[in-house]
C-alpha cells in the first residue's frame, strides 16, 4: 500500500511536469553582466580647495545597489580591468593617449566567518573587515609606451576599497571614519578612490515609463519649477533616490593629462581640450591547454564602454553589440547616420508634443555623440555645487555637460531633452524647447564639494529608498 | 544613468509597423528597464513580459523576451513545459518574420535543449554567416559540436566566443572544454574566473559554482567541492544540482544521512533518474531496503513515462540500470538510441558500460577507447575501462585504469568505488 501511494505520487509528479529526458550541459547564454556593467562617466575640473588645478574622472558601475544587500555586499570584479581613457591629441579622435587602469584583488582574512564584515567597523584597517578589497593603479602613456604601477599610497598604505555603509551601529560616522580615509594620494600626485557611493544620477524614471506621464508642470518647466532646486519642485520623483553605485574616481593634476604636459590658459590652445571615457575589459583565456597558466594568458577585450550619458548603445543591433563594446570610440563614425536623424526628436518632441525642431541631419548632436567621448575645456575653472547651474552651458555655466565635461550635479536629462529639441541650433532656443524637463532638478542627497564629489553611500539600516527625493533624502555619511 | 537615457535622443528609426509611442516604450523597456528587470526573479519577468507582449501584440520583440524568460525558467526547474511555451512563441514570431534575429538565436537554444545537436550546429552556422560578431552563435555552435564529439571544431568555436567577449558564459565553456580535454587544473582556474565575472542572473553564477564543485569532486578534492556547492546554494537558494553535488560530496565523506537528505532535496525539486539511482544506493548502505526499493521503482517509473512519450533515448537512465545490474539490455538500447544524435565521450562511456553489463565485452572494449580518447579526468571512465579490460583478460591495462580511477577520487561513488577497489585487489593477487 505504501509503495502504491508512492507510485501514485510519483506519477502525478511526472505527469504534471512531463518526462525528463537526459539532460545535457546547457551552459548559460543570456548574460546579464553585472560587475563589468558601466553606468556613468564623469570628467570635470575640481573646485576643491588646494586641488583646483586638477581634473577628476569617475565612473559608476553596478547601478541600483540596495544599500542593505548584506552580508556580502557589492564588490568590484577581480577579473575586470576598469579603465579611464584620456584622449588629448589629434583633434580628439576617440583614440586613447593615456589610460588609467584599476585592478582589484580580494583577500579573505584567515579564519573569516561567513560574513564579510563583523562588529563595529571604525577604520579602514579594522580587524572586523574580513573581505579586504585592494587595488593596483596602472597608468599607461600610450604616446611613449610607458607604464607606472601604484600598489600603495605615499604613506605606504595599500590602496583599499571603502567598506559598505551598514548603518549607525556597524559603521558610525561613515564618511569621517571610512569614506575620506579611503582616498589615497599616490606618489605622482594623483588621488584615487574606489568604493560605494550614492548614485548622483537623478531622473523621474517612473513618470517617464508610465507612458510619458510627467508630473505637472513637467515636461515644460518655467519659473520656480525650472529654477528651483530639489524641494522647490515637490511633484517629481527621482527613481534613483536611495540607491548606491560602486564608484571609481581619480584626480589628476591638469599637466598630467595634456599632450605637452602644460597647464593651458587659453581656450584657443589645442592642449586646452581633452576628452575621456570609461571602459571595462576582461581577459581572454585559451580554450585549449596552453603552456601558460590560463590566468596569465591573453589580451584584454572591451566588454562595456561609456562616454556620454546619452550613448549610442541603443542603436547598435543585437548582433553587433559586442563588436561595438570592444571597439574604440574612434570607430564610432560608422554609427553616425543613425544619430543624425534621431527618432525621439521626430516621433516624440515633434509627433507627440508638436514642437518645432531642427531638421535632420543634426550636426549639433553628432558633434557631441560621435565619437562617444565626453569633452572638457581645461581652461574653465570648476565652481562649487551651490553655484553651478544644473543645466550647465544651457544655464550659462560652461563647466558642465556637454561641452565642459560632466559633473555629478549636471541635469543630463533636462540638458538632453532641450538639446534634442534643438536649443543649440540658432533659432530653436525658444519656449517651450528650452523649458523641457522631467521635473527632478537635483539629487536626493547633497553632493560633496570635495573628492570624490559623489555623496557617501546610503546606509543599509535606513531603508533609503523610502527616504525622499529631490534633495529631501537624509544626508549620507553622518 | 546611461542605460536609462539613450532613448531620449537616439531611438532607431526602423520597425515602421509599430506606432511611434509604442516604439518609444520598447526603447524604455530595453535599456531603461534593463537594470530593474535584472533584479526581478524569473517569475516576475515572465509576468512583465507577458503583459508587454499582450499590450503590444504587433511587437515581436516582447514575445522574444518572454520566450527567453521561459527558457531561463526551464533552466531553473527542468520543467519541459516551459521549453514548449518558449518554442511556441519563437515559432509564432518566426512565422510572422522569418528573419527575426532574436527569435533565430532563441531557436538555436531551444533545439539545444531538445538535443537536436546537428540542427543546432546548422542554425548556428547560418547565424554566424550573417552575424559573425555575436558570441552567442559561437557558443551554441560550440555546445552542439561538443555533443556531436567534434571537439577540435568546438574548441575553435569557443575560442572565438571568448575572444569576442570574455565573461561568465564564455569562460564557463572554455573551462568545460579544458576539463573534457584533460586539463583539470586549468579548467578550475578558468571556472573561478567565470564565477568572479558573475551575472545578475544568480542561477547562472550558481551553475558555474556547481560546475566547479563537480570538477573538484572528480579529482578528489571533496571538501573544495563541498564549498563550491554550498556557495551555489548561497547564490541561488534551492538550486537542485547543488543539492545533488552536496549529496555526492557527503557520500564520499561517509556522511550517509546528510547525503540522503541532500539528494532528497534535489529529487523533490526535479526527479532526475540519476538522483533516484544515487538514493537507491545510499538507502541500501543506510540499511533501509524498503526506501531503496522505492527509489528503484522510481527509476522504472521514469522509464515507463519516457516510453509512453515515445522516448527511447536516455543515457542517464541507461547508467541507472547498468550501475545496478538491472535491465541491462534495455540500457544498451537506450544508449544506442542516444548515440544516434550524440557522439560525445560521455555517450561512448555509457555505451561501454551498458555493453559490459550486457556481457558484450569486445564491443564494450571499443566503446571505452572512444571514451578515453581525450584523457578526461572522469574517475568513472577509468573504472569502466578497467572493469571491461579485466573481463577481456587485459590485466595490466585493467590495473592501470582502476588505479587511475581511484587515484582521481578513491570515493568517487558509494557503490562503484568499493567495487573498483575489490576488482583491483583481485587483479593484484
Instruction: Name the minimum distance, in Å, from the CA of A127 to any CA of chain B.
Output: 24
**Number of domains comprising chain B:** 1
Residue in this structure with the C-alpha cell 554609427, named with its chain if needed: A335
Q: Would you tell me how many other CB atoms lie within 10 Å of the CB of residue A106?
A: 15
- CB spacing of A286 vs B159 below 8 angstroms: yes
Nearest to B183 among A36, A289, A326 (CB): A289
Asked if the Cβ–Cβ distance from A27 to B158 is below 8 Å, we say no
Lowest mean pLDDT among A267-276, A420-429, B12-21, B330-339: B12-21
Between B160 and B59, the higher pLDDT residue: B160
Judge: B168–A31 Cβ closer than 8 Å, yes or no: yes
Top-ranked range on mean pLDDT: pick from B128-137, B200-209, B334-343, B415-424: B415-424
- pLDDT, residue A234, reads 65
The model's confidence at residue B19, banded by pLDDT at 50, 70 and 90, is: very low
B367 pLDDT higher than 80: yes
b/e code B209-245 from CB counts within 10 Å (16+ = b): bbbbbbbbbbbbbbebbbbbbbbbbbbbeebbbbbbb
Nearest to A301 among B21, B165, B201 (CB): B165
> B423 to chain A, minimum CA–CA distance in Å?
30
* Contact residues, chain B, for A335 at CB < 8 Å: none
Q: Would B263 be classed as within a structural domain?
A: no
Share of chain A above pLDDT 70, in %: 87
Decide if B341 touches A, using CB distance below 8 A: no
Nearest neighbour of B6 by CB, restricted to A10, A314, A322: A314
Query: Given pLDDT bands bounded at 50, 70 and 90, which one contains residue A67?
Result: confident
As a whole number of angstroms, the distance between CA A37 and CA B34 comes to 11
Query: For residue A22, what pLDDT band results from cuts at 50, 70 and 90?
Result: very low
Of the listed ranges B20-24, B143-147, B152-156, the least confidently predicted one is B20-24
| CA gap B102, B67 in Å, rounded | 10
Residue A464 has pLDDT above 50, yes or no: yes
Which pLDDT belongs to residue A229? Answer: 67
| pLDDT band at residue B248 using 50, 70 and 90 as cut-offs | very high
Tell me whether B55 touches chain A (CB under 8 Å).
no
| Average of per-residue pLDDT across B97-121 | 93
Residue B154 inside a domain? The answer is no
Question: Which residues are bridge partners to A134 per DSSP?
Answer: A105, A160
CB atoms within 10 A of CB A210: 12
Q: What is the pLDDT of residue A287?
A: 93
What is the domain-level CATH number for residue B207?
1.25.40.10
CA-to-CA distance for B283 and B415, rounded, in angstroms?
11
pLDDT value for B34? 57
Give the cell for residue B89. Answer: 512563441
Question: Is the pLDDT score of B399 beyond 80?
Answer: yes
Choose among B3, B164, B178: nearest Cβ to A289. Answer: B178
Cell representation of residue B14: 526602423
In a domain, B104, yes or no: no
Q: How many Cβ contacts (< 8 angstroms) between chains A and B? A: 317
Q: Do A30 and B71 touch (CB under 8 A)?
A: yes
Q: What is the per-residue pLDDT for A189?
A: 97
- The parent domain of residue B205 ranges over 166-255
A322/B135 CB distance under 8 A: yes
Report pLDDT for B79: 85
Kindly state the average pLDDT of the residues B396-403. Answer: 98
Q: Grid coordinates standing for B413?
A: 561513488
Average pLDDT score over chain B: 90
Instruction: Name the residue facing A294 among B10, B79, B186 (closest C-beta).
Output: B186
**A248 contacts A470 by C-beta, under 8 angstroms:** no
What is the structure's pLDDT at B37? 65
Cβ distance of A311 and B189 shorter than 8 Å: no
Contact: B2, A11; criterion CB under 8 Å:
no
The answer to whether the CB atoms of B38 and A32 lie below 8 A apart is yes
What was the pLDDT predicted at A6?
A: 42
Query: Average pLDDT, stretch B313-319?
Result: 92
Indicate if the pLDDT at residue A339 is higher than 70.
Answer: no
Mutate to test the interface with B, among A242, A245, A319, A349 (most CBs of B within 10 A): A319
pLDDT band at A131 (very low <50, low <70, confident <90, very high): confident
Distance, CA of B349 to CA of B335 (rounded, Å): 10
The length of chain B is: 429
pLDDT score, position A309: 80
DSSP A131: E
At A295 the pLDDT is 64
- Quote the CA–CA distance of B375 and B182 in Å, as a whole number: 5
Interface of B with A in 280-299 (CB under 8 A): 290, 293-294, 297-298
Predicted confidence at residue B410, as pLDDT, reads 98
**C-alpha distance from residue A398 to each of A49, A201, A394 (Å):** 20, 20, 8
Q: Does residue B340 lie within any of the structural domains? A: no
Chain A residues with beta carbon closer than 8 angstroms to that of B302: 14, 19-20
Output the pLDDT for position A232: 65
pLDDT at B20: 46
pTM for the whole structure? 0.86
**Rounded mean pLDDT of chain A?**
86
Which of A120-129, B265-274, B346-355 is the most confident on average?
B346-355
- Per-residue pLDDT averaged across A23-46, rounded? 80
Work out the percent of chain B whose per-residue pLDDT is above 90: 76
How confident is the model over A411-453, as pLDDT tens digits? 998 998 898 889 989 999 999 999 999 899 999 999 999 999 9
pLDDT tens string A156-177: 999 999 999 999 999 999 999 9
- B168 touches A: beta carbon within 8 Å: yes
- Which one of B10, B109, B136 has the shortest CB-CB distance to A312? B10
Residue B25 has pLDDT above 60, yes or no: no
**Cβ contacts of A104 within 8 Å, gap of 6 or more:** A75, A76, A77, A78, A80, A82, A133, A134, A135, A161, A194
pLDDT at A231: 60
Contact A30 B201 (CB under 8 A): yes
Least CB–CB distance from A322: residue in B20, B133, B190:
B133
Confidence of residue A317 (pLDDT cuts 50, 70, 90): low
**Mean pLDDT, to the nearest integer, of B228-247?**
95
Give the pLDDT confidence score for residue A23 in this predicted structure.
59
Provide the shortest C-alpha distance from residue A61 to chain B (in Å). 10
- A401 has a pLDDT exceeding 50: yes
In B, minimum Cα distance to A202 occurs at B1
Quickly state the pLDDT bin for B276 (edges 50, 70, 90). Answer: very high
Residues 6+ apart with CB under 8 A from B129: none
* d(CA B407, nearest CA chain A) in Å: 22
The domain limits of chain A are 38-466
Give the CA distances from residue B69 to residues A30, A32, B40, in Å, rounded to whole numbers and listed in that order: 9, 13, 11
| Residues 176 through 195 of chain B touching chain A, CB cutoff 8 Å | 176-178, 181-183, 186, 189-190, 193
CA distance A453 to A443: 12
Q: Is the dihedral of CA B217, B223, B225, B229 positive or negative?
A: positive
- Cα distance from B80 to chain A (closest Cα, Å)? 7
B27 to chain A: nearest residue by CA? A314
Name which of B3, B9, B180 to mutate to probe chain A: the one with the most chain A Cβ atoms within 10 A of its Cβ: B9
- Residue A402, pLDDT > 80, answer yes
- The whole-number average pLDDT for the span A394-400 is 94
Task: Decide if B386 contacts B354 (C-beta within 8 A).
Answer: no
Instruction: For residue A110, count other CB atoms closer than 10 A to its CB.
Output: 6
**Which of B115, B183, B271 has the CB atom closest to A14's CB atom?**
B271
Does the pLDDT at position A12 exceed 70? Answer: no
CB contact under 8 Å between B80 and A21, yes or no, is yes
Quick one: pLDDT at residue B50?
Answer: 87
Residue B233 falls inside a structural domain:
yes
**Contact B336/A at CB under 8 A:** no
Report whether pLDDT(B27) > 90.
Answer: no
CA gap A76, A160 in Å, rounded: 11
Of A19, A201, A341, the CB nearest to B311: A19
| Tens digit of each residue's pLDDT (9 = 90 or more) over A265-299 | 999 999 999 999 999 999 999 999 887 766 666 88
**pLDDT at res. A335:** 72
For residue A80, the chain B residues in CB contact (below 8 A) are: 197
CB contact under 8 A, A284 and B166: yes
Q: Which residues of B touch A277 (CB under 8 A)?
A: none
- The residue among A341 and A264 whose pLDDT is bigger is A264
Is pLDDT above 60 for A312? no
CB nearest B314 (choices: A7, A21, A325) = A21
Handedness of CA A224, A229, A235, A239 (dihedral sign): positive
With contact defined as beta carbons under 8 Å apart, do B162 and A284 qualify?
Answer: yes
Distance from CA of A269 to the nearest CA of B (A): 31
How far does the CA of residue B254 sit from the closest CA of chain A (Å)?
25
In this prediction, residue A13 carries a pLDDT of 43
Residue A353 has pLDDT above 60, yes or no: yes
Amino acid at each position: 500500500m505504501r509503495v502504491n501511494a508512492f507510485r501514485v505520487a510519483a506519477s502525478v509528479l511526472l505527469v504534471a511536469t512531463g518526462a525528463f529526458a537526459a539532460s545535457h550541459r546547457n551552459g548559460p547564454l543570456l548574460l546579464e553582466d553585472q560587475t563589468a556593467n558601466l553606468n556613468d562617466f564623469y570628467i570635470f575640473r575640481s573646485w576643491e580647495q588646494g586641488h583646483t588645478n586638477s581634473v577628476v574622472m569617475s565612473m559608476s558601475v553596478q547601478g541600483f545597489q540596495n544599500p542593505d544587500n548584506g552580508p556580502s555586499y557589492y564588490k568590484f570584479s577581480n577579473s575586470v580591468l576598469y579603465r579611464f581613457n584620456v584622449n588629448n591629441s589629434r583633434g580628439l579622435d576617440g583614440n586613447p593617449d593615456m589610460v588609467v587602469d584599476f585592478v582589484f584583488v580580494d583577500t579573505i582574512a584567515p579564519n573569516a566567518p561567513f560574513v564579510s564584515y563583523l562588529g563595529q567597523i571604525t577604520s579602514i584597517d579594522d580587524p572586523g573587515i574580513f573581505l579586504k578589497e585592494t587595488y593596483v593603479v596602472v597608468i599607461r602613456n600610450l604616446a611613449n609606451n610607458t607604464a607606472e604601477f601604484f600598489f600603495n599610497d605615499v604613506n605606504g598604505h595599500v590602496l583599499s576599497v571603502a567598506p559598505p555603509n551598514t548603518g549607525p551601529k556597524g559603521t558610525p560616522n561613515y564618511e569621517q571614519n571610512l569614506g575620506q580615509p579611503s582616498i589615497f594620494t599616490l606618489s605622482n600626485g594623483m588621488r584615487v578612490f574606489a568604493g560605494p557611493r550614492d548614485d548622483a544620477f537623478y531622473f523621474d524614471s517612473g513618470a517617464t515609463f508610465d507612458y510619458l506621464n510627467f508630473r505637472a508642470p513637467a515636461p515644460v518647466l518655467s519659473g520656480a519649477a525650472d529654477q528651483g532646486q530639489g524641494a522647490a519642485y515637490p511633484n517629481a520623483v527621482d527613481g534613483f533616490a536611495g540607491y548606491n553605485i560602486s564608484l571609481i574616481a581619480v584626480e589628476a593634476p591638469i599637466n598630467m593629462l595634456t599632450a605637452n604636459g602644460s597647464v593651458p590658459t587659453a581656450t584657443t590652445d589645442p592642449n586646452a581640450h581633452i576628452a575621456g571615457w570609461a571602459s571595462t575589459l576582461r581577459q581572454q583565456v585559451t580554450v585549449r591547454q596552453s603552456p601558460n597558466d590560463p590566468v596569465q594568458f591573453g589580451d584584454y577585450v572591451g566588454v562595456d564602454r561609456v562616454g556620454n550619458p546619452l550613448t549610442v548603445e541603443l542603436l547598435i543591433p543585437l548582433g553587433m553589440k559586442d563588436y561595438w563594446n570592444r571597439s574604440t570610440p574612434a570607430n564610432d563614425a560608422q554609427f553616425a547616420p543613425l544619430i543624425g536623424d534621431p527618432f525621439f526628436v521626430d516621433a516624440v518632441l515633434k509627433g507627440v508634443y508638436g514642437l518645432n525642431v531642427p531638421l535632420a541631419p543634426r550636426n549639433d548632436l553628432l558633434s557631441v555623440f560621435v565619437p562617444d567621448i565626453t569633452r572638457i575645456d581645461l581652461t574653465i575653472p570648476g565652481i562649487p555645487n551651490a553655484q553651478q547651474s544644473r543645466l550647465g552651458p544651457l544655464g550659462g555655466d560652461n563647466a558642465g555637460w556637454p561641452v565642459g565635461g560632466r559633473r555629478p550635479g549636471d541635469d543630463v536629462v533636462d540638458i538632453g531633452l532641450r538639446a534634442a529639441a534643438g536649443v543649440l541650433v540658432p533659432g530653436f532656443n525658444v519656449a517651450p524647447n528650452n523649458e523641457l524637463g522631467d521635473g527632478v532638478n537635483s539629487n536626493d542627497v547633497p553632493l560633496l564639494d570635495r573628492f570624490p564629489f559623489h555623496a557617501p553611500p546610503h546606509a543599509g539600516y535606513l531603508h533609503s529608498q523610502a527616504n525622499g527625493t529631490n534633495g529631501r533624502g537624509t544626508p549620507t555619511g553622518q | 544613468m546611461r542605460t536609462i537615457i539613450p532613448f531620449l535622443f537616439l531611438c532607431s528609426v526602423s520597425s515602421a509597423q509599430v506606432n511611434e509611442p509604442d516604439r518609444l516604450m520598447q526603447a524604455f523597456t530595453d535599456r531603461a528597464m534593463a537594470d530593474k528587470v535584472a533584479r526581478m526573479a524569473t517569475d516576475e519577468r515572465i509576468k512583465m513580459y507577458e503583459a508587454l507582449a499582450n499590450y503590444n501584440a504587433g511587437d515581436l520583440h516582447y514575445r522574444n523576451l518572454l520566450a527567453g524568460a521561459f527558457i531561463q525558467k526551464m533552466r531553473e526547474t527542468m520543467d519541459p513545459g516551459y521549453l514548449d511555451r518558449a518554442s511556441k512563441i519563437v515559432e509564432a514570431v518566426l512565422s510572422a518574420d522569418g528573419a527575426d534575429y532574436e527569435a533565430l538565436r532563441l531557436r538555436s537554444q531551444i533545439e539545444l535543449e531538445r538535443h537536436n545537436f546537428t540542427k543546432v550546429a546548422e542554425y548556428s552556422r547560418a547565424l554566424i554567416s550573417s552575424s559573425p560578431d555575436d558570441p552567442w552563435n559561437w557558443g551554441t555552435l560550440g555546445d552542439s559540436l561538443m555533443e556531436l564529439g567534434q571537439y577540435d571544431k568546438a574548441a575553435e568555436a569557443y575560442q572565438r566566443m571568448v575572444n569576442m567577449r570574455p565573461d561568465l558564459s564564455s569562460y564557463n565553456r572554455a573551462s568545460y572544454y579544458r576539463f573534457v580535454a584533460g586539463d583539470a587544473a586549468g579548467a578550475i582556474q578558468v571556472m573561478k574566473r567565470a564565477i568572479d565575472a558573475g551575472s545578475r542572473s544568480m542561477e547562472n553564477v550558481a551553475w558555474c559554482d556547481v560546475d566547479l564543485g563537480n570538477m573538484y569532486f572528480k579529482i578528489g578534492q571533496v571538501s573544495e567541492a563541498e564549498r563550491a556547492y554550498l556557495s551555489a546554494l548561497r547564490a541561488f537558494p534551492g538550486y537542485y544540482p547543488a543539492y545533488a553535488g552536496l549529496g555526492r560530496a557527503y557520500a564520499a565523506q561517509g556522511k550517509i544521512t546528510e547525503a540522503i537528505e541532500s539528494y532528497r532535496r534535489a529529487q523533490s525539486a526535479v526527479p532526475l533518474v540519476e538522483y533516484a539511482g544515487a538514493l537507491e544506493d545510499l538507502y541500501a548502505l543506510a540499511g533501509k531496503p524498503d526506501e531503496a526499493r522505492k527509489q528503484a521503482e522510481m527509476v522504472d517509473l521514469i522509464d515507463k513515462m519516457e516510453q509512453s512519450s515515445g522516448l527511447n533515448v536516455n543515457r542517464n537512465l541507461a547508467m541507472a540500470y547498468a550501475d545496478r545490474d538491472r535491465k541491462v539490455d534495455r540500457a544498451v538500447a537506450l544508449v544506442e538510441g542516444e548515440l544516434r544524435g550524440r557522439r560525445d565521450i560521455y555517450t561512448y562511456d555509457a555505451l561501454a558500460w551498458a555493453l559490459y553489463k550486457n556481457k558484450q565485452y569486445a564491443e564494450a572494449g571499443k566503446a571505452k577507447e572512444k571514451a578515453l580518447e581525450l584523457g578526461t579526468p572522469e574517475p568513472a571512465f577509468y573504472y569502466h575501462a578497467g572493469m571491461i579490460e579485466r573481463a577481456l583478460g587485459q590485466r595490466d591495462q585493467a590495473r592501470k585504469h582502476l588505479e587511475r580511477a581511484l587515484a582521481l577520487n578513491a570515493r568517487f561513488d558509494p557503490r562503484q568505488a568499493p567495487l573498483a577497489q575489490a576488482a583491483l585487489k583481485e587483479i593484484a593477487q
